[in-house]
Amino acid sequence: MPLLTVNEVGVRFGGVTALDRLSFTIEEAQICALIGPNGAGKTTLFNCLSRLYEVDEGTIMFNGVDLLQLSPHRVARIGVARTFQNLALFPALTVLENVMVGAHTQGHIGFGRAMLRLGAGREERQLRAKCSDILERLELAHVAARPAAGLPFGTLKRIEFARALASSPRLLLLDEPANGLTHGEVDELGVAIRDIRERFDLTVLLVEHHMAMVMSISDHVVVLDFGRKIAEGPPAMVRDDPAVIEAYLGAPA
Amino acid sequence: MVVPTAPVATTKLPEPGGQRVPWARLAAGVAVLGVAVYLPFYFTPEVNTTLSQVLYLAVAAVGLNLLTGYNGQVSIGHGAFFGIGAFTSAVLVVNHGWQFEYTIPVAALLAAGLGVMVGFPALRVRGLYLALITLGLAVVFPRVTAKVVKGTGGVALVRPSRADLTSLLSGLADDQYQYLLCLLLLCIVLLLTWNLMRSRAGRAIIATRDHEVAAEAVGINVAAVKVGTFALSAAFAGVAGSMSVLVDHLADATNPITYFQLSIEFLIAVVIGGSATIIGPVVGAALLVLLRKQTAGLITGKEILAPAVLGGALILIVYVLPDGAVGGFRRLVARLGRGRRRPSSTPDPPPDAPASLTNRTT
Ligand SMILES: Nc1ncnc2c1ncn2[C@@H]1O[C@H](COP(=O)(O)OP(=O)(O)O)[C@@H](O)[C@H]1O
Ligand SMILES: [Mg+2]
């Protein structure tokens, strides 16, 4: 059974069809890339998966659960984590605290027990250890105690990545993680994603414009244009698909 | 949606997990507490009453800070929660013969209940609109209370007698006992707040303020956090109102703007003390009462000018200390620390590419 099944999903904004009866599946442990020109609907799909947007039609099943029945904060709980195309960190918190917020689903101490310090100290130590470890792996340990505000862009991108990992997800949604990174950093990121997939036993849905990276790390590629799926398959096959080339280079005259 | 966020003074959470014990702070805290306990034995009853007023104002400000400072929900209606607490205690003591101390948890619970009732509609509005709605609450409160509560003479004014509020501890004068009880309550409220803010729940409160969408995406039940914070914040304000009955022997809703004025005072205490800091609202409450006393005495004969002078002083404070007294103190310490720091300390990464963190579009 696939881990994620997107079935006939449609989303419209007024006259704009952002997703047009989109269907695809992701198998467990795959890295699946979702590509397409700007405005193709990639982020819209992410927002449907994290229940920020309501779909107009279709269903989304994750690991046997009807995702569209969940309220947004439940999505993380069943094992779906994401990063944002534009950064969405908590500027007032330190880097470590940002990642610890990412581990929210891993703890359970609420207002009452926190105020009375019943078990809160122990939970703090556990979360802190887990998150410090993730920072270590992403080579962010040296900024752990600094406020997130004011760090370089590439670092912030990696912090978002770390925050998403902190929830121990089964499916990780990465929205243009290489955006704004230098060439060297992009290569490193590609290696890191593969590496993390192995270590954390993850399935990854990746939105990315960086073709070299997409082609080198993904197992499966889905191509969108104007909300419709125009091609799907292994990277090598998709790369040579005439419809894909046309979408990227513009329609021949 | 891009919400214009105030320049958030970097919210410094207390070290999570308590890896390092902050000995210096601990020592300072113990010293301050020692002095605070000694004060009522040194001062006159009048001064002790003023100090007790600082304490209950501080409790209300700590509560408001939880909501407005840490959670980003602006309330200029906390006077209403304070008022609920005050009337609960006053009515229970006067009409039902309760021992005052037992009325405090009831006051907290009723205020929290009203907090939940306001917290739910508050989920749908934010910023100035929320400020307006809460303002309405503070304005409506005395009018509703006047309908419900009839004190002696049929007006909304309940005056517990001195005998109702005497010291439980023999050997302490009433004013000393009142001060010490208020001090104890403030310490409890501060401890609860500090514990909360260095936990998973505390981080959720701040994350919800900083980026709701991202908070939801990591699994935080934003609605529950907001309503919960509202209730807790209201409960603290209710406790403060209860304390005010002990100190002032009065719960009074005859003047329709009393509770509005109080709401503003809580907000002032939070802002000048340092919002989103644990101790800031306490410092702010002390500063506010001090300023009030000073400006009132400054222009004898022209008392009518006092509010203007107070206002001017407040503007000056906010101008000089935009992040409050605590923020100013921290910057001072940081500057002194930098001067002393040895060159071998870790170099700061270059502050290149100051990326916008508050971009809400996803
Ligand atoms: N919240 C929204 N309101 C209106 N239109 C939207 C909204 N979100 C996305 N769209 C539209 O949907 C289309 C797909 O956008 P998006 O998913 O962001 O594309 P991509 O991420 O592939 O670049 C675009 O035409 C965009 O303008
Ligand atoms: Mg996009």
pLDDT string in tens for chain B (362-residue length): 334 444 444 455 555 444 567 888 889 999 999 999 999 999 999 999 999 999 999 999 999 999 999 999 999 999 999 999 999 999 999 989 899 999 999 999 999 999 999 999 999 988 889 999 999 999 999 888 888 887 666 667 788 887 788 777 778 888 999 999 999 999 999 999 999 999 999 999 999 999 999 999 999 999 999 999 999 999 999 999 999 999 999 898 888 888 999 999 999 999 999 999 999 999 999 999 998 888 777 666 666 777 777 788 888 888 888 889 999 998 888 888 876 654 444 444 444 433 444 333 34
pLDDT of residue B300: 66
Atom of ligand 1 nearest to the CA of A11: 12
Residue B1 lies in a domain: no
Contact: A97, B13; criterion CB under 8 Å: yes
Contact: B351, A150; criterion CB under 8 Å: yes
Instruction: Examine the domain organization and report whether A113 and A161 are in the same domain.
Output: yes
Strand partners, A224: A229
Instruction: Examine the domain organization and report whether A68 and A178 are in the same domain.
Output: yes
User: What's the full length of chain A, in residues?
Assistant: 253
How many angstroms is it from A226 CA to the middle of ligand 2? Answer: 12
What residue numbers bound the domain in which A146 lies? Answer: 88-168
Instruction: Examine the domain organization and report whether A21 and A42 are in the same domain.
Output: yes
Residue B177 lies in a domain: yes
CATH number, domain of A17, equals 3.40.50.300
CATH number, domain of B233, equals 1.10.3470
Q: Which residues of chain A have pLDDT under 50?
A: 253
Instruction: Examine the domain organization and report whether A75 and A178 are in the same domain.
Output: yes
End residue of a domain, out of A168, A193, A218: A168
Q: Does B345 touch chain A (CB under 8 A)?
A: no
Instruction: Examine the domain organization and report whether A15 and A75 are in the same domain.
Output: yes
Structural domain count of chain B: 1
The residue of chain B nearest to residue A128, with distances taken between CA atoms, is B17
Residue B54 lies in a domain: yes
Of A15, A79, A40, the C-alpha closest to A223 is A40
Residue B272 lies in a domain: yes
Instruction: Examine the domain organization and report whether A112 and A180 are in the same domain.
Output: no
Give the predicted TM-score (pTM) of the model: 0.90
End residue of a domain, out of A168, A187, A221: A168
Instruction: Examine the domain organization and report whether A179 and A191 are in the same domain.
Output: yes
Residue B349 lies in a domain: no
Instruction: Examine the domain organization and report whether A184 and A215 are in the same domain.
Output: yes
**Nearest CA of chain A to the CA of B39: how many Å?**
28
pLDDT of residue B242: 96
Instruction: Examine the domain organization and report whether A178 and A75 are in the same domain.
Output: yes
The distance from CA A143 to its chain's CA centroid, rounded to whole angstroms, is 23
Please report residues of A whose CB lies closer than 8 A to that of B358: 91
pLDDT of residue B318: 81
pLDDT of residue B3: 41
Segment 205-244 of chain A within 8 Å of chain B by CB: none
Structural domain count of chain A: 2
Residue B313 lies in a domain: yes
Instruction: Examine the domain organization and report whether A5 and A112 are in the same domain.
Output: no
End residue of a domain, out of A153, A168, A183: A168
Contact: B362, A105; criterion CB under 8 Å: no
Burial B105-122 (b: 16+ CB within 10 A, else e): ebbbebbbebbeebbeeb
Instruction: Examine the domain organization and report whether A176 and A70 are in the same domain.
Output: yes
pLDDT of residue A253: 41
Q: Ligand 1 pocket, A30 CB below 6 A? A: no
**Nearest CA of chain B to the CA of A236: how many Å?**
30
Residue B69 lies in a domain: yes
What is each CA distance from B104 to A20, B98, B241, B263, in whole angstroms?
59, 11, 9, 20
Q: Ligand 1 pocket, A157 CB below 6 A? A: no
| Ligand approaching nearest to the C-alpha of A179 | 2
Q: Does B150 touch chain A (CB under 8 A)?
A: no
Beta-carbon count within 10 A of B65 CB: 29
| Ligand approaching nearest to the C-alpha of A39 | 1
| Ligand approaching nearest to the C-alpha of A54 | 1
pLDDT of residue B155: 67
Q: Ligand 1 pocket, A37 CB below 6 A? A: no
Residue B298 lies in a domain: yes
How many angstroms is it from A239 CA to the middle of ligand 2? Answer: 20
Distance CA A35, CA A46 (A): 12
What residue numbers bound the domain in which B144 lies? Answer: 41-340
Instruction: Examine the domain organization and report whether A180 and A121 are in the same domain.
Output: no
How many angstroms is it from A175 CA to the middle of ligand 2? Answer: 7
Secondary structure class of A161 (helix, strand, coil):
helix
